[in-house]
Structure 1
Amino acid sequence: MNEVSMEKISPKYQMVLIRKIESAIWHEYKSYKDVKFYIEKWHIVEENWNEFWENFPIILKEPNKEIDLLSTLHKIDGEILLKIAIDLGIETPDFIPSVPIFRNEIKSSYSTASRTFEDAFKQIEEHPDIAIGLVNSALESIVKEILSDERVNIQLKGNETLHCLVDKILKFLRLYPNSDIPNEIKQIGSSLLSICKGIEDLRSAKTKFHGKIEGDYIINDPLYTYFVINSVATVGLFLKNYFEKKIPPKEIVTNDDEIDNLPF
């Protein structure tokens, strides 16, 4: 993420992204005053007696000195634009490919996980370690929801870790370590389990979710967090969709007689 610049984004995508950001800002803040306040939160200025630097210029209209938002956005580099887009909840699938689909798919059927994932998304830049802990919890929530389905019939104690939960669901889906499937599939299942163990260990050892002392390493680079969030989105999407394919949602049976007797 830190390596992204506008030169690496196609001009066509730049135009689309900037227009989405402009629209989202006006929708959120309504007035020129509040829009300018929002943009100033991203504006950094460094001044010495003979030097002046700013990360981007804020363009003002004449003669009223109101912000020219569109012109200002075109002066902002790619990394900051992407951060603004994420802050506003704008999908950026070319850079975080799994995340937009994941967010949409869990919104209705996994509401607790969805809220947790959205909280994590807001923390990526400012508190990358907190975001990792939250996405770990979001994935746990999805797997628990699946395992609680009466057709799965797996009893949980309530204190299972992510690794333990995913181990149970992979066994239920017969993806690992079932001897009837090709070795390559078993290897992928094993690797998926390892990914979840890595996320869980990262949460425990490299975030503030467990007690830390002076000198302990804490994740502070958002780039690592984007990597973890993409991993969670990919694993979560796969488990959700594979489960729904293997165990389709129950059909709602409607009694035609009841419909015929409705008073309208």
Structure 2
Amino acid sequence: MIEISLGTTAGGGIVYPSQLDKETVFEWFGLHLNPAKRIEFMCGLLHMCQPLELRFLGSYLEDLARKDYHVLRDFEFRANSPSDLGVLTDVIDPVVRSKLLVCLSLLGSESRECAGILFRILSHVDPALFSAGPLEQLSLLFAMASLHPAFHFHQREMVRGQLDKIELAIKEERRQSQLRINAQITVMSNKPTLVPLNIKLAQNLLNFNLSSPCSSFPAPDNSVNIVCVTGPGSLGLVPAAMLVSY
């Protein structure tokens, strides 16, 4: 989220900044929002626009969309064809998910029949069957359906409820992933480290510190490989042969 510093007047009212850093907003939108949140954010901004602003933005968007019209014309026809949509039922298949995303992007605002088909497909989706990557795709799919004007109000409400469950599943997946990472870090930090030592240096250390735990071991000769065990609960300097039981 973008953090905006707000001040207060003497009477306790909120003072809003006169100007936002556009580059920060653009960076946040382009780099820090996932596709589903980008769609929701843009739709939220459009809802806050005045009627004349919407008409202007409509003309602007129409001009932008015209550039890709010939490329997307065939896909748009399929997206608004009930017979083509009816076969896209296996949402677990990544190819089907990609096609559904394209269809929802190109679905006409008055294609009620196609929206009904898509709604029935989405109604049978179980988020528990998907991992983190596919869940992100589902999040985008359900976000678009929950905002698309071709869907009836009650359909959008039901899709929104499913979207909330998907977002919770994504958060839980991220939490579990972080727990696994933390567990691996803990294991690695507690793992003893074996550092080979010079034999003569090891002999001098053993003879010098008679009170060390190593004093109970026989003095090593040149045929014994001495290692230094470091880390929590380490044994200190020990012959390598004794590390088998360790």
Alignment TM class, shorter chain as reference: under 0.3
Greater relative contact order, per chain length (Cα 8 Å cut-off, separation 6+): 1
Query: Which one has a larger percent strand, Structure 1 or Structure 2?
Result: 2
TM-score of the pair, normalised by structure 1: 0.26
TM-score of the pair, normalised by structure 2: 0.27
Larger radius of gyration: 2
